A = this chain, B = another copy of it.
Amino acid sequence: MVLILDRSDPAGAIAAAAQRVSNRGRWGADDVLGTMNHLDEAKRAEGARLVRRGVAFSLAQSFDEHGPQKGWRRRTNPVHTMLSSGLDAEFGPEDFPHGLGGADDVVFMPLQASTQWDGLGHIFDHGMAYNGRRASQVVTSDGDQLTGIETVASLIAGRGVLLDVGRALGTDGELPDGFAITTQHLQATIDAQGECSRVGRGDLVLVRTGQLTRARRDGWGDYAGGPAPGLSFTTADWLRGTDIAGIVTDTWGFEVRPNEFDVAFQPLHQVAIPHIGLFIGEMWDLDVLADDCAADGVYDFWLTAAPLPVTGAVGAPVNPIAVK
Which A residues contact B (CB, under 8 angstroms)? 10-11, 14, 40-49, 51-58, 60, 62-66, 70-71, 73-93, 96-112, 121-127, 129, 134-144, 150, 153-155, 157, 261, 263-267, 269-270, 302, 304, 306-315, 317-321, 323
User: Could you say which residues of chain B place their CB within 8 Å of the CB of A75?
Assistant: 83, 104
Bound CA–CA A75/B79 (angstroms): 9
From B79, B99, B109, A126 is in contact (CB under 8 Å) with B99
Bound CA–CA A275/B64 (angstroms): 28
A144 touches B103 (CB 8 A): yes
Bound CA–CA A44/B55 (angstroms): 7
User: Could you say which residues of chain B place their CB within 8 Å of the CB of A136?
Assistant: 85-87, 89-92
A45 touches B52 (CB 8 A): yes
User: What's the minimum C-beta distance from A106 to chain B, rounded to whole angstroms?
Assistant: 5
User: What's the minimum C-beta distance from A137 to chain B, rounded to whole angstroms?
Assistant: 7
Tell me which of A91, A265, A318 has the highest count of chain B C-beta atoms within 10 A of its own C-beta.
A91
A103 touches B60 (CB 8 A): no
Bound CA–CA A103/B125 (angstroms): 12
A105 touches B315 (CB 8 A): yes
User: What's the minimum C-beta distance from A238 to chain B, rounded to whole angstroms?
Assistant: 21
Name 23 A/B residue pairs within 8 A (Cβ), A-sorted. A10-B98, A44-B51, A62-B311, A64-B311, A66-B311, A73-B104, A74-B81, A76-B76, A81-B83, A84-B141, A85-B85, A85-B87, A85-B136, A87-B92, A88-B140, A89-B127, A92-B141, A96-B265, A98-B267, A100-B125, A102-B123, A103-B123, A104-B315
Q: A64-B311, A80-B313, A104-B110 are in contact. List 13 more A-B contacts (CB 8 A).
A: A74-B106, A75-B104, A80-B311, A83-B141, A85-B141, A87-B88, A89-B139, A90-B124, A90-B134, A102-B123, A105-B143, A107-B313, A304-B321
By beta carbon, the residue of chain B nearest A41 is: B54
**How many copies of this chain does one complex carry?**
4
B105 touches A60 (CB 8 A): no
User: What's the minimum C-beta distance from A13 to chain B, rounded to whole angstroms?
Assistant: 9
A134 touches B86 (CB 8 A): yes
By beta carbon, the residue of chain B nearest A72 is: B65
A309 touches B44 (CB 8 A): no
B308 touches A56 (CB 8 A): no
Nearest 3 CB-CB pairings of A with B: A86-B135, A45-B54, A48-B51
B309 touches A63 (CB 8 A): yes
A100 touches B81 (CB 8 A): no
Bound CA–CA A280/B312 (angstroms): 28
A124 touches B100 (CB 8 A): yes
